[in-house]
Amino acid sequence: MSDEAITSLVYLDTLTPTLSSPHFTSGSQSLTQQLVVPPHIDSSQNNNHKELVKISSSLYAKIRSYAFTTQLKLSDKHITHLQEELTYAQRHIDKLEVKVQDQLKASNEREHETMEQVKKLQAALAAAQHDQQQANAAQKDLVNSFQYAKQLLEKAKNDVKDKNAEISALEDQYNAEI
């Protein structure tokens, strides 16, 4: 390649717009419109230079298009990856929610069972207290009955003593009369 062609390519490279350039468009025509022929190129080389610029611009547009397509594919892959991560995170959250609901349900069931046991124990306690009250009342009745029986026994002993004394007196009187 001649020095002039290299100089033209280097010069073309300085004219090549970037994506951030306000002059960038996807067509090569706008690039050729921006072309200013370097002062050291004569008119016979001008046509070759323009053709080279058109080919280079076309290649550049294709490369940029390919780069843009590749960037979109990478963006799509990145979006797909992020969606997969989001799906994984949502599944994990769903599993945790199910686990928490199961734990709450189990906790509620245990609480319900505990409340049932407490009610049963309270009923048993009330029944035991009622039985204790009845037993206390029965004991009190037995104590009263025992006291009454003791009093009756004491009275009966006294009556027997009195009767024995009377019988003895009558025997003595009968023996005295005989």
**In the predicted model, is pLDDT for residue 157 greater than 60?**
yes
pLDDT of residue 45: 65
Nearest in space to 62 (alpha carbons), one of 19, 28, 30: 28
Residue 36 backbone zone (phi > 0: left; psi -120 to 50: alpha; other: beta): beta
* Percentage of the chain modeled with pLDDT above 90: 44
Q: What is this structure's pTM?
A: 0.39
3-state secondary structure of 1: coil
Greater confidence, 166 or 26? 166
* Percentage of the chain modeled with pLDDT above 70: 74
pLDDT band at residue 42 under the 50/70/90 scheme: low
> What's the whole-number average pLDDT of the chain?
78
Nearest in space to 61 (alpha carbons), one of 31, 26, 34, 32: 26
Greater confidence, 23 or 87? 87
Q: Tokens 């076309």, residue? A: 58
CA distance 52 to 111: 86
pLDDT of residue 12: 42
Tens digits of residue pLDDT in 56-72: 888 888 888 877 887 77
Q: At what angle do helices 3-15 and 43-177 cross, to 10 degrees?
A: 40
Q: What is the largest CA-CA distance in the chain?
A: 195
3-state secondary structure of 19: coil
pLDDT of residue 23: 42
Q: Tokens 């294709």, residue? A: 62
| Mean pLDDT across 5-15 | 43
CA distance 26 to 13: 16
